[in-house]
A and B are shown apart, each in its own frame.
Chain A
């Protein structure tokens, strides 16, 4: 039988996978504005493709945060305090980006619109980059002492490996957003998104390979749980190769599914490679936080399991419905933002 703490680790992983699958393309669309949105109307069209969804997509992250707090208080406490500055920057980025969507169209002035366009752009790049850095250093291990306290220096956060991880996740989201646009826009804009997506697959593959290569030296990704992680990595590469083929054949919907699979598998691989550790200590493996040592009590986990398993079907149901309601491509008419 699976233990409740293990079930919650899986749930947290699913929440992060869902977050990157969904908010991943929101971030990508936010970045795309600077590259394929030629004028204000086009940039508005881009924002309107994610208009009804981005807020709910971000809730996947908030729920993941809440789930970690409730199910793994020590993980929550160690990670959020240990990554204090990165989280401050993440919050600033998410705050700026969130209000920009609402504020941008409210005043008819080029300077005003341009300002918020920049905030959207930066606010869409920073979060995936910071999460890439976070996940990478989680895999590599951070200086966590016997009191579960993380006290690290600058190079523990920022180094070649973690920056590679950050760039990789950012590129994954950028590509995901571009492919999303190929199925949500029309005309010139759609073609530009399609063209750029076909090009961006290659840097994505290069950075993925670089990231996996560095992981070989920096982490125990291949040795610790290699029998699962190596096939998973193989699948990720296959997914992105398929994106190339499918985009070429104009099968954009399938290309989006594959790019989504690529992101989902990447995040899943990280969680598989961690399990059952949630945070690795670079001081001593005795100080690792694991799903067992960081978890809440059984009673709390049981209550939370009932609640989560009852609510999740409804949440998924109405979110899917909202995607169904707004399934039409954005063509520049009836736009809200």
Chain B
């Protein structure tokens, strides 16, 4: 196994794993903040209970998200030293700002929130959780600013063989960033919403704490539908932009070898033959690709072979076609998962509006299964984005094979790969175990236990409270 292969495997594995927790954290904390706002505005205890219960699950998830994020901060230098040398001048800035602006904010105010229930006024405590929520979104913004630079390098010039920033404004107004950021944030909100919706559905099926979980379910369905639509619109904008910034990724995600017909059909299914650079079988929806790309029912989309010829002329000899099957299928998995999510959230919202959710057993069961869908869609989306950019790390400037650390041996990589995978596996098992435990205990458990659980004094005013 080559160093490059191992380094890529490790980066892919650690990043995908990290990004299971990140969107759930962003989504959950937003909804917890929403619930606590309802508590402060409406002054009803049930909303406080909601903020606490879902906040509890959020914290377990947040802990894993935070620690798996530390690796991300260091592994550019560890595994991709040549990449870091080349882009550090531009790429490092958003990472440093992310730490300074977002990480400090999240970590300080989460501490204040967890420990501050009895020490801060209601409003200040509410402000803390909103600052955590804003912090998570700022974090997303800056890391996506860095990622967008890899997709669409702007605001820089090449000096002495490395990329140097010459326009910070261009870096944060990168058009790629402004289609990517909303898409990711809506995706994260949907992850939180379907998690709360699915867990609530499970509890409703068990008929446990019905009022509490029905209220949670209702809130989650509103957010699920809003974010589902947000995902669709921002995703559409992103696809249109892709046509300009990375047509090769676009062509690969459509398995389009030759330039498409005009108007271009959208391929639902294709039997891709990479070796002969053709598709044996295609099921297509006429006009659809033209519409998705240009918002009109005409227009051809360039295929991979003509783009390959164009790139060879521009960048020299080489293979500029990304892994087609992965790009094609990850895109489809993402889109289909997203559509199912929108559809089911519509049904869920309708049922909560009509107050018939308790009778809709099948819908509730579907909601439980649907917890996994945002995770699948998030992962598939990133696989499409990153695999589809290959062979580049920085599009048009640096290839992945030129990015890897020359001094890290295959043995070292194997060690780190095994070590990280093992510890991540343990984390995943413990996390799921704790999630299931907390969910089974339910929301009432923490009332009785109160916050401290050393000797409970019967005359303590906390215990005396209803």
Contact = CB atoms under 8 A, between A and B. Distances in A.
A311 interface: yes
A149 interface: yes
Interface residues of B, number: 74
Q: Chain A's interface: helix, strand, loop or mixed, by majority?
A: helix
Interface stretch (A75-83, A235-243, A270-278): A75-83
A67 B99 CA distance: 9
B70 A94 contact: yes
A99 B415 CA distance: 22
A103 B96 contact: no
A91 B114 contact: no
Contacts of B112: 52, 322, 325
Interface centre among A70, A72, A148, A322 (most CB of B within 10 A): A70
Contacts of A303: 93, 165, 168
Given A87-B74, A94-B67, A334 B451 contact: yes
Interface centre among A88, A107, A312 (most CB of B within 10 A): A88
A304 interface: yes
B109 interface: yes
B437 A81 contact: no
Interface residues of A, number: 67
Interface string A278-302: 0000000000000000001101100
Interface in A82-121: 82, 84-85, 87-88, 91-92, 94-96, 98-99, 101-103, 106-107
A119 to B, nearest CB: 10
A335 interface: yes
A336 B415 contact: no
A65 B60 CA distance: 25
Interface stretch (B116-124, B378-386, B390-398): B116-124
Contact of B164 (A53, A81, A297, A311): A297
A143 to B, nearest CB: 10
Interface centre among B76, B77, B86 (most CB of A within 10 A): B77
Interface string A33-65: 000000001000000000111011011001101
Contacts of A226: none
B88 interface: yes
Interface centre among A81, A91, A107, A307 (most CB of B within 10 A): A81
B84 interface: yes
Q: Chain B's interface: helix, strand, loop or mixed, by majority?
A: helix
B164 A300 contact: yes
B99 A63 contact: yes
A153 to B, nearest CB: 12
Interface in B71-125: 71, 73-79, 81-82, 84-93, 95-101, 103-105, 107-112, 114-116, 118-120
Interface stretch (B212-220, B229-237, B319-327, B402-410): B402-410
A62 B70 contact: yes
B88 A81 contact: no
A191 interface: no
A250 interface: no
Contacts of B140: none
Contact of B78 (A58, A81, A318): A81
A55 B165 contact: no
Contact of B85 (A73, A84, A91): A73
